[in-house]
Structure 1
Amino acid sequence: MARWILSVCLAVVCGTAALAQDARLKSLETGNDAGDWEAVGRLDINGRGFCTGALISPDLVLTAAHCLYEKATGERINHETVQFLAGWRNGRASAYRRVKRAVVHPEYIYDGAVSSARVRNDIALLELTHPIRNTTIEPFQTAPRPRTGAQVGVVSYGRDRAEAPALQEVCRVLSRRQGVLVTSCEVDFGSSGAPIFTFADGRAQIVSVVSAKAELDGNDVSLGTALGAPLEALRAQLEAGKGVYQHTPPIAARVVVGEGRGSTGAKFVKPSR
């Protein structure tokens, strides 16, 4: 663990100059700006909050698992109260869909100590009631996780940008270990589940999902969940007919934000939602 913490800290120190090259957030308020990102949408959670999600097929939305849990009680939210607003901006969406089924990673646990294990399993798939078949909304493909130092980007909603998403076209992978990507991408409340993209071959492909905002060696960073095997596990659950809502009892204990450090070496200063 010590070696891992050291490697992350060195990545941040060595990457300080690179951080200055990160692109600033650009609001996607107009149709021209948002045209390539219509498959990213706001997930309205039970009428009391929101996350970010992205279509990876006409009827599947990729997001963070913790978006499906109540903060106060730790109970699983009835996903039938969740609505996906594709391309939401300035009070309108390109498509509106409710969620029919939802699965979270089988090893994800909402309670317990904040750790890299919790982050790397913080992934969920939502099956919509009806596929979105719209020529302006093209689902994204996924790609293998990028190497350390690679340029990535993120499209997300947030506390101060709830009515239109924002694009950060250039941020960087500072480190990757144990299924967790540490990036310099800017995130805030509402950014949970936001897709992190690579732009290989000039096409945006999802390589990670935002799990949390964190602080590492005095720098704000974002922690992302790797895809690959975790995503395949979720697809398998849906194919097996799982994902129907079942009430779960409240958890016995919850972590207070800022109490712990994961093996990523990052201090979890607050959740993204």
Structure 2
Amino acid sequence: MRTLPLLGLILALQAAPSTAQQSPLVAMQTGDDSRGWQAVGRLQLGDRGFCTATLIAEDLVLTAAHCLFDKETGARLPIETIEFRAGWRNGRAEAYRNLRAAVVHPDYVYSGAEDLERVGYDVALLQLDRPVKLPQVQPFPTGPEPDANTDVGVVSYAQDRSEAPSLERSCQVLDRGGDILVLSCDVDFGASGSPVFEMGPEGPRVVSVISAKAESQGRKIALGVGIETALPLLKAELGLGKPGKVRLLSGTGGAKFVKP
């Protein structure tokens, strides 16, 4: 999880304030708590920490692009040092998988300096070395990014809750600009790559990936990237089909923000 230097951030795209009640962050410490969420896992980055990641097919995992880079050198982490631990909870995972391949959004460029415009491209797709075929670990479907004022949920690991995932069942999309979502959700270091879910009648579907945390007018917020446009590109990079009809990405990376 990156902290962007955006204290006092002012959103140029102002949405009406949400009146929905935000649910508390709940740790999923037991098997009953985590049932149905085991496809969310901890992405272990060798000895350099971890991110959160999500199984969206038996052998495909979504996370944030910046998780795959060494923050000190800017180099890509060797994929052999990365391990996906599905449903990690209290020292044990439902499944452990290494990576066969990993690709980041073709417009994502990593650098040591934080850049708000890169948030709109901060998504990566990982191909596991072996598929996860377990009845209790069901990949999540994906969907288009939601509009402003939509209720969403987040499942994440973080620095002070690294041994079990936490669920925030209801937070809100405060604003949206291009492929960047501004969220009221509670995130912290380690939550990079966490899935943002929209809870539909057929169950949760992944609509965004957490990229960073920031502040707006003294209020803590989270920034996420939509995946609808990115997924076909990432799958094509892995040789899993042609991207087909792709919506043109904004040259400014999506949302427009101004600093005071």
Whether these two folds match at TM > 0.5 is yes
Rounded Cα–Cα distance in structure 1 between residues aligned with 2:198 and 2:164? 21
CA gap of 1:135–1:223, structure 2 versus 1, over 3 A, is same
1:113 CA displacement? 5.8
Q: Which has the higher contact order (CA 8 A, sep 6+)?
A: 2
Structure 1 residues 170-229: Cα deviation after superposition (integer angstroms, max 9, x where no partner): 000000002100000110000000000000115000000000001111111000011111
Would you tell me which structure has more helix in proportion to its own residues? 1
The aligned counterpart of 2:120 is 120
Q: Is the 8 A contact 2:28 2:165 kept in 1?
A: yes
1:107 aligns with 2:100: no
AA aligned to 2:216 is: L
The aligned counterpart of 1:263 is 256
SS of corresponding position for 1:126: strand
Rounded Cα–Cα distance in structure 1 between residues aligned with 2:228 and 2:24? 29
Rounded Cα–Cα distance in structure 2 between residues aligned with 1:183 and 1:200? 18
* Runs of 4+ with deviation above 6 angstroms: none
Rounded Cα–Cα distance in structure 1 between residues aligned with 2:237 and 2:11? 37
- TM-score, scaled relative to structure 1: 0.83
Q: Is the 8 A contact 2:29 2:90 kept in 1?
A: yes
In structure 2, the gaps of 5 or more residues are 1-8, 242-254
Q: Is the 8 A contact 2:72 2:112 kept in 1?
A: no
CA gap of 1:6–1:215, structure 2 versus 1, over 3 A, is closer
Taking only the aligned residue pairs, the percentage that are identical comes to 49
Structure 1 residues 98-144: Cα deviation after superposition (integer angstroms, max 9, x where no partner): 11100000100112764443001000001111000000000000011
The aligned counterpart of 1:15 is 17
Count of aligned pairs between the two proteins: 239
In structure 1, the gaps of 5 or more residues are 242-261, 268-273
CA gap of 1:234–1:34, structure 2 versus 1, over 3 A, is same
The aligned counterpart of 1:90 is 90
Cα RMSD after superposing both structures: 2.0
Q: Is the 8 A contact 2:71 2:112 kept in 1?
A: no
- TM-score, scaled relative to structure 2: 0.87
Counterpart mapping for 1:190-205 below 5 A: 190-205=190-205
AA aligned to 1:190 is: G
CA gap of 1:156–1:265, structure 2 versus 1, over 3 A, is farther
Would you tell me which structure has more strand in proportion to its own residues? 2
The aligned counterpart of 1:207 is 207
AA aligned to 2:39 is: A
Q: Is the 8 A contact 2:39 2:87 kept in 1?
A: yes
SS of corresponding position for 2:201: helix
The aligned counterpart of 1:55 is 55
